[in-house]
Amino acid sequence: RSEGGREALYRETILAGGVADPIKTAYANVAGKYQDVLTLEQSVAELHQMFLDFALLTEQQGELLDQIEYQVRSAADYIEDANVDVHEAIEYQKKIRKKQCWIILIVIILLIIVLFSTGVLP
């Protein structure tokens, strides 16, 4: 028999058998405590579920923090690479300007030579 069936059988036997009031009182007391135990059991089960939920949330937050940390490190690496590229670009720009100045100087010298050789300039 199930637990509920046993409880019903005991209740019928005690209450219908003409037993004295102290037994009825004791039965009512035990039945009340039994309900309290069931309520406590349900509360413990709910508390257990809350702890499981907290554990899951904590794990998910840990994974999220790991992802954020990875993204921050990746961004830092990209910034370092970008800084190196910017410094290289500045160096290339300086070299190109220097070459442009030399080319302009050579063109001016050649122009002066051509002008002297053609007699435009005395």
In a domain, 107, yes or no: no
In a domain, 105, yes or no: no
pTM assigned to the model: 0.48
In a domain, 43, yes or no: yes
| pLDDT of the residue at 58 | 93
Residue 1 has pLDDT above 60, yes or no: no
What is the residue range of 30's domain?
A: 3-86
Beta strands in 1-122 (DSSP E): none
Answer for the pair 27, 11: CB distance below 8 angstroms, yes or no.
yes
Residue 111 has pLDDT above 90, yes or no: yes
Average pLDDT, the chain: 88
In a domain, 53, yes or no: yes
Number of domains in the chain: 1
In a domain, 25, yes or no: yes
Q: Which two tokens stand for residue 57?
A: 């949330």
CA-wise closest residue to 75 among 83, 106, 42, 26 = 83
50-77: pLDDT as tens digits: 999 999 999 999 999 999 999 999 999 9
Q: ∠ CA 98-104-105 to the nearest 5 degrees?
A: 90
In a domain, 119, yes or no: no
